[in-house]
Amino acid sequence: MNIYVGNLSREVTDEDLRQEFSAFGEVSSATVIQDRYTGESRGFGFVEMTAKDEANAAIKALNGKELKGRVIKVNEARPRRDNRDRRRSTRM
């Protein structure tokens, strides 16, 4: 299950996310999204967990928890919409 983690402090790393979520089960991946140009955190990330029940337990326990000075928002990630394709087709 893919999990969205928002309102992250700029100090949070991929490893910080992995440690927080691994208390609830196996973490396949943990990534803090960074700005393409500056390399700084964009304040959100994604965690992939293999078992849905473990992921739901992590969401329930970690949503609203403080991590490095910020209260994080945790929920199931929605499928990505690719708006770039739609913009190109309207310009033709």
**pLDDT tens, residue order, the chain (92 aa):** 999 999 999 999 999 999 999 999 999 999 999 999 999 999 999 999 999 999 999 999 999 999 999 999 999 999 877 665 555 545 54
pTM score of the predicted model: 0.85
H runs (alpha helix) in 23-51: none
Domains and CATH numbers, the chain: 1-37+51-77 (3.30.70.330)
pLDDT of residue 86: 53
Radius of gyration of the chain (CA): 15
pLDDT of residue 31: 98
**What is the distance between the alpha carbons of residues 42 and 15, in angstroms, rounded to a whole number?**
16
CB under 8 Å, gap of 24 or more: what pairs does 78-82 form?
78/4
What would the two tokens of residue 3 be? Answer: 């999990």
